[in-house]
Protein backbone atom coordinates (compact mmCIF):
# COMPACT_ATOMS: atom_id res chain seq x y z
CA UNK A 1 0.00 0.00 0.00
CA UNK A 2 1.39 3.39 -0.92
CA UNK A 3 1.85 6.04 1.75
CA UNK A 4 -0.63 8.24 -0.12
CA UNK A 5 -3.29 5.52 -0.01
CA UNK A 6 -2.57 4.82 3.68
CA UNK A 7 -2.99 8.52 4.52
CA UNK A 8 -6.24 8.71 2.53
CA UNK A 9 -7.55 5.64 4.38
CA UNK A 10 -6.50 7.11 7.73
CA UNK A 11 -8.47 10.27 6.90
CA UNK A 12 -11.53 8.10 6.22
CA UNK A 13 -10.99 6.28 9.51
CA UNK A 14 -10.80 9.57 11.43
CA UNK A 15 -13.92 10.87 9.66
CA UNK A 16 -15.79 7.69 10.61
CA UNK A 17 -14.57 7.86 14.22
CA UNK A 18 -16.03 11.36 14.38
CA UNK A 19 -19.46 9.71 13.97
CA UNK A 20 -19.02 7.49 17.06
CA UNK A 21 -20.39 8.95 20.28
CA UNK A 22 -20.58 7.93 23.90
CA UNK A 23 -24.36 8.22 24.44
CA UNK A 24 -23.69 9.98 27.73
CA UNK A 25 -21.41 12.66 26.19
CA UNK A 26 -22.40 14.79 23.16
CA UNK A 27 -18.88 14.68 21.66
CA UNK A 28 -17.36 12.08 19.32
CA UNK A 29 -14.67 9.67 20.53
CA UNK A 30 -11.98 11.19 18.30
CA UNK A 31 -12.55 14.74 19.57
CA UNK A 32 -12.67 13.44 23.14
CA UNK A 33 -9.11 12.19 22.66
CA UNK A 34 -10.06 8.56 23.24
CA UNK A 35 -8.20 7.34 20.13
CA UNK A 36 -4.54 6.70 20.95
CA UNK A 37 -3.36 4.90 17.82
CA UNK A 38 -4.58 4.21 14.27
CA UNK A 39 -2.54 1.67 12.32
CA UNK A 40 -3.32 0.35 8.85
CA UNK A 41 -1.06 -2.38 7.47
CA UNK A 42 -0.29 -3.02 3.81
CA UNK A 43 -3.17 -5.52 3.56
CA UNK A 44 -5.77 -3.04 4.83
CA UNK A 45 -6.03 -4.45 8.35
CA UNK A 46 -6.91 -1.67 10.77
CA UNK A 47 -5.84 -1.68 14.40
CA UNK A 48 -7.00 1.01 16.78
CA UNK A 49 -5.94 1.58 20.37
CA UNK A 50 -8.56 3.53 22.26
CA UNK A 51 -9.48 4.23 25.83
CA UNK A 52 -12.60 5.20 27.73
CA UNK A 53 -13.12 8.21 29.95
CA UNK A 54 -13.32 5.80 32.90
CA UNK A 55 -12.21 2.15 33.25
CA UNK A 56 -15.72 1.09 34.28
CA UNK A 57 -17.52 2.92 31.47
CA UNK A 58 -20.94 1.23 31.20
CA UNK A 59 -21.17 2.09 27.49
CA UNK A 60 -17.76 0.67 26.48
CA UNK A 61 -19.17 -2.35 24.61
CA UNK A 62 -21.69 -0.19 22.76
CA UNK A 63 -19.04 2.34 21.75
CA UNK A 64 -16.56 -0.32 20.55
CA UNK A 65 -19.25 -2.21 18.62
CA UNK A 66 -20.49 1.01 17.00
CA UNK A 67 -16.95 1.98 16.00
CA UNK A 68 -16.15 -1.49 14.62
CA UNK A 69 -19.40 -1.65 12.62
CA UNK A 70 -18.82 1.77 11.07
CA UNK A 71 -15.11 1.23 10.37
CA UNK A 72 -15.82 -2.09 8.63
CA UNK A 73 -17.86 -0.19 6.03
CA UNK A 74 -14.82 1.71 4.73
CA UNK A 75 -13.66 0.49 1.33
CA UNK A 76 -10.19 -1.09 1.41
CA UNK A 77 -10.38 -1.88 5.15
CA UNK A 78 -10.18 -5.67 5.36
CA UNK A 79 -10.45 -6.16 9.12
CA UNK A 80 -10.85 -4.04 12.24
CA UNK A 81 -9.25 -4.72 15.62
CA UNK A 82 -10.03 -2.34 18.47
CA UNK A 83 -7.89 -2.63 21.59
CA UNK A 84 -9.12 -0.97 24.76
CA UNK A 85 -6.14 0.41 26.68
CA UNK A 86 -5.86 2.44 29.85
CA UNK A 87 -2.25 3.61 29.53
CA UNK A 88 -1.78 6.47 29.41
CA UNK A 89 -4.75 7.33 31.56
CA UNK A 90 -7.22 9.61 29.77
CA UNK A 91 -7.52 13.19 30.99
CA UNK A 92 -9.58 16.18 29.89
CA UNK A 93 -6.39 17.67 28.42
CA UNK A 94 -6.59 15.08 25.62
CA UNK A 95 -9.81 16.59 24.25
CA UNK A 96 -9.81 18.86 21.22
CA UNK A 97 -10.48 22.55 21.78
CA UNK A 98 -13.92 22.06 20.16
CA UNK A 99 -14.76 19.25 22.59
CA UNK A 100 -13.69 21.33 25.57
CA UNK A 101 -15.86 24.20 24.36
CA UNK A 102 -18.85 21.89 23.73
CA UNK A 103 -18.58 20.45 27.24
CA UNK A 104 -18.05 23.82 28.93
CA UNK A 105 -14.39 23.36 29.88
CA UNK A 106 -13.33 26.57 28.11
Whether 29 is covered by a domain: the verdict is yes
Q: Which residues pair with 46 in a beta bridge?
A: 40, 80
pTM of the model: 0.92
Whether 38 is covered by a domain: the verdict is yes
Residue 57, phi then psi, degrees to nearest 5 = -55, 120
d(CA 100, CA 94) in angstroms, rounded, equals 9
Whether 82 is covered by a domain: the verdict is yes
Whether 101 is covered by a domain: the verdict is no
Return the exposure string of 54-72: e unless at least 16 CB atoms fall within 10 Å of the residue's CB, then b: eeebeebeebbebbbebbe
- The mean per-residue pLDDT over the stretch 21-44 comes to 93
Q: Report residue 77's pLDDT band, with 50, 70 and 90 as the boundaries.
A: very high
Look at the chain and report how many structural domains it folds into. 1
Domain range for 55: 3-89
d(CA 94, CA 27) in angstroms, rounded, equals 13
Q: pLDDT tens for residues 7-19?
A: 999 999 999 999 9
- What's the CATH number where 19 sits? 3.30.300.130
Amino acid sequence: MTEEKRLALEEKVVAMLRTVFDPEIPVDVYSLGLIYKIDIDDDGNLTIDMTMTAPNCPMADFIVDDARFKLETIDDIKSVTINIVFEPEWTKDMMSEEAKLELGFL
